A and B are shown apart, each in its own frame.
Chain A
Amino acid sequence: SAVISQKPSRDICQRGTSLTIQCQVDSQVTMMFWYRQQPGQSLTLIATANQGSEATYESGFVIDKFPISRPNLTFSTLTVSNMSPEDSSIYLCSVSEGGVGYTFGSGTRLTVV
């Protein structure tokens, strides 16, 4: 299965700033996704990162707050903009590999102070 590298693995940020999270996959994949896991909660899908077009966002998530780039089939970024303490979460990148299933990165643990 694909191997996903996420950077940074963790960060502590000041409120009002932005953080860009990178997701690099070791093979070309069509479907890439971004999830959020708030403390003590399950994974919530933020958006589907589409190569060559705008991301598709889930209800409750907007492009201005979580802009996503997908310049090619192996890379994507998620930016958390104008952060507040409520954005403190683990952010995960995931890829779909057809019959294999879904593989997840190790996540980015974000703390906003």
Chain B
Amino acid sequence: AQSVSQHNHHVILSEAASLELGCNYSYGGTVNLFWYVQYPGQHLQLLLKYFSGDPLVKGIKGFEAEFIKSKFSFNLRKPSVQWSDTAEYFCGTVFGGATNKLIFGTGTLLAVQP
């Protein structure tokens, strides 16, 4: 079955540390890929998305992600995190076809310590 997995469930970093959150999907066809963020008490916000073209995608707030087709991965990165990046991060995938259903991974809770 088509699925999305996030291996890091809880990450704790100090400010200025680099961040990489893993996201893998299981599907050999065309995919659209997303990263969303949910700050405490707030609703989901889109960080970045990949549909096609340059596999290195830059999003808001200094985040970027790289689509590596051979690894079925779309990892999220940020070179230097801030305390305000404390949030839950969700990887989402739309698998090829007409359904347009966005399926999420389990989420990664990031805590940045000042």
Distance to closest chain A CB from B108 (angstroms): 10
Chain B 32-66 interface residues, beta-carbon cutoff 8 Å to A:
34, 36, 43-44, 46, 49, 51
Residues in chain A near residue B101, CB distance under 8 A: 33, 45, 48, 58
Which of A16-24, A80-88, A99-107 lies at the binding interface?
Answer: A99-107
Whether B103 is near chain A, meaning CB under 8 Å from some CB there, is yes
Shortest Cβ gap from A44 to chain B (Å) = 8
Chain A: interface residue total (CB-CB under 8 A): 21
**For the side of the interface on B, what is the size category?**
10 to 19
> Which B57-114 residues sit within 8 Å CB-CB of chain A?
90, 92, 99-107
B105 touches A42 (CB 8 A): yes
CA distance A32 to B93 in the complex (A): 16
8 A Cβ contacts from B18-36 to A: 34, 36
Name the contact of B103 in the complex, choosing from A41, A45, A96, A103 (C-beta under 8 A).
A45
The 20 sampled A-B contact pairs (Cβ below 8 Å) are A31-B100, A33-B102, A42-B90, A42-B106, A43-B44, A43-B90, A45-B101, A48-B99, A48-B100, A48-B101, A92-B44, A96-B102, A99-B51, A101-B46, A102-B34, A102-B102, A103-B46, A104-B36, A106-B43, A107-B43
Binding site for B on A (CB under 8 A): 31, 33, 41-45, 48, 56, 58, 92, 94, 96, 99, 101-107
Residues of B within 8 A of A (CB): 34, 36, 43-44, 46, 49, 51, 90, 92, 99-107
Q: Given contacts A43-B90, A101-B46, could you give 15 more A-B pairs where the C-beta distance is less than 8 Å? A: A33-B101, A42-B104, A42-B105, A43-B104, A44-B104, A48-B99, A48-B101, A56-B99, A92-B43, A99-B51, A101-B34, A102-B102, A104-B36, A104-B44, A105-B43
